[in-house]
Amino acid sequence: MTKVFIRQATYELPLLGERVAEMFDSMGPQWIKPGARVLIKPNLLLPSAPDKAIVTHPLLVRAVAAYLLDHGAKVQVSDSPGTGSFRKVLTETRYKEVMEGLDVTFSPFEASVEVDIGEPYGRIPIARDAMEADRIINLAKLKTHAQMFLTLGVKNIFGCIVGLRKPEWHMRAGVDRRVFARLLVQIHHAVRPDFTIVDGILAMEGQGPGKSGRPRQLGLLIGGAEAHAVDKTICTVLGLDPEKLLTYVQGRELGVFDGQVHVSGDLNIVSDFRFPELHSLSLGTETLSRFMRKYVVQKPVADDRKCKLCGECWKICPAKAITHNIRGVKFDYDRCIRCYCCIEVCLHAAIHAKEPLLGRVRRYLIRD
Ligand code: SF4
Ligand code: SF4
């Protein structure tokens, strides 16, 4: 049975240092060997201040890096942001400033190696730095996600797919959330982080994971050697049936996680956490598909008043479903696979997921 720590915490370095040391010390004295190359993989989705709750807080990353350096490791911090240059992301998230004085390398994921993640995808490109590190510390953010419900430890490892290849893999998984969850689980299993800590001190609720979500103070750090167990524990804390987290379901179906967790700490249930509205993506028969996509199933919609025509959404859209004119962006809902990458990368909160009126009526009638 895998152990998961759940601890109260704030963004104060001495306390964070204690929490991190307690978790890592549980792995044994030789867990971090002097000279080991340790990769920290935070959530650095886009350039954004830490108080927006979009990225893993830099003070948590500092506490983890300090622990690793104290144990003689060579520490690298890497991710592949959805938008903005890595340099800009490091500046706006205050990583550079907060980590000053620590002998840490910052490097975006760039080169990939082909890794066999199993059927049906076979060999797919995953960041070389992740595959070649001696240890990987997965520092995820506790956020809602309009497609996958929550983005926690397992999903954070999707960031090891380099740059624009992420939307490409979204595209290959298509509209089916279960298929995408399976892909996430397979990638996570191939990378196999050695420890996962989810930053739930300032979490995100509502229509996350980008700027459409709302920061929510939870004051929690949840960590353990098995990300699936960490994610399951978070579901319990948030009062959510873990069966609703598809990466958890797929992890069990694929046999990479047995569902058994030993929790260390208080499981105080957060009863009023706001989850995203998530509706069926089922498109019915081929004949109905077009109609359903346009008028029934949840879809991304843009607010022209907020749109700055920056181009990030149409650049990242894997389905080439976004066009634009001088007023704003337009979606081709026949093409759109509902991956919500556009919501993730929009720095101006100009896109959100919305269920059309017909969809709401249908859901009311059939209660799905
Ligand atoms: S919707 Fe957002 S990401 Fe797309 S062009 Fe407008 S501001 Fe940029
Ligand atoms: S329009 Fe948005 S949700 Fe649809 S495929 Fe493109 S990025 Fe994904």
Segments making up each domain of the chain, as ranges? 2-264, 286-366
Rounded to two decimals, the pTM is 0.84
Q: How far apart are CA 356 and CA 323, in angstroms?
A: 20
Model confidence band, residue 117 (pLDDT cutoffs 50, 70, 90) = very high
State the Cα torsion 242-205-67-192 to the nearest 10°.
40
Distance 303 CA to ligand 1 centre (A): 9
Q: Which position has the higher pLDDT, 340 or 205?
A: 205
Question: How many CB atoms lie under 10 A from the CB of residue 314?
Answer: 17
- The answer to whether 175 and 96 have CB atoms below 8 angstroms apart is no
Atom of ligand 1 nearest to the CA of 349: 2
Distance 118 CA to ligand 1 centre (A): 36
Q: How far apart are CA 282 and CA 275, in angstroms?
A: 20
Atom of ligand 2 nearest to the CA of 171: 5
Q: Which position has the higher pLDDT, 54 or 297?
A: 54
Over residues 126-157, the pLDDT tens digits come to 999 999 999 999 999 999 998 888 999 999 99
Q: Does domain 286-366 have CATH number 3.10.20.30?
A: no
Model confidence band, residue 238 (pLDDT cutoffs 50, 70, 90) = very high
pLDDT average, residue stretch 202-231: 94
Model confidence band, residue 368 (pLDDT cutoffs 50, 70, 90) = very low
pLDDT average, residue stretch 180-206: 96
pLDDT of residue 217 exceeding 80, the answer is: yes
Atom of ligand 2 nearest to the CA of 313: 7
pLDDT average, residue stretch 208-228: 93
pLDDT average, residue stretch 343-359: 85
Q: What average pLDDT does the structure give for the chain? A: 91
pLDDT of residue 360 exceeding 80, the answer is: no
Model confidence band, residue 366 (pLDDT cutoffs 50, 70, 90) = low
Distance 352 CA to ligand 1 centre (A): 11
Pocket of ligand 2 (CB under 6 A): 300, 317-319, 321-322, 331, 336-342
Q: Does domain 2-264 have CATH number 3.40.50.11440?
A: yes
Q: Which position has the higher pLDDT, 344 or 278?
A: 344
Distance 318 CA to ligand 2 centre (A): 7
pLDDT at 283: 47
Q: Is 307 in the pocket of ligand 1 (CB under 6 A)?
A: yes
Model confidence band, residue 292 (pLDDT cutoffs 50, 70, 90) = low
Atom of ligand 1 nearest to the CA of 306: 7
Over residues 253-275, the pLDDT tens digits come to 999 999 999 999 998 999 999 99
Distance 238 CA to ligand 2 centre (A): 28
pLDDT of residue 308 exceeding 60, the answer is: yes
Ligand whose nearest atom lies closest to the CA of 305: 1
pLDDT average, residue stretch 309-334: 93
pLDDT of residue 170 exceeding 80, the answer is: no
pLDDT at 280: 52
Q: Is 201 in the pocket of ligand 1 (CB under 6 A)?
A: no
Q: How far apart are CA 297 and CA 279, in angstroms?
A: 7
pLDDT of residue 252 exceeding 60, the answer is: yes
pLDDT of residue 245 exceeding 80, the answer is: yes
Q: Is 130 in the pocket of ligand 1 (CB under 6 A)?
A: no
Distance 335 CA to ligand 2 centre (A): 8
Distance 316 CA to ligand 2 centre (A): 8
First to last CA, the chain: 34
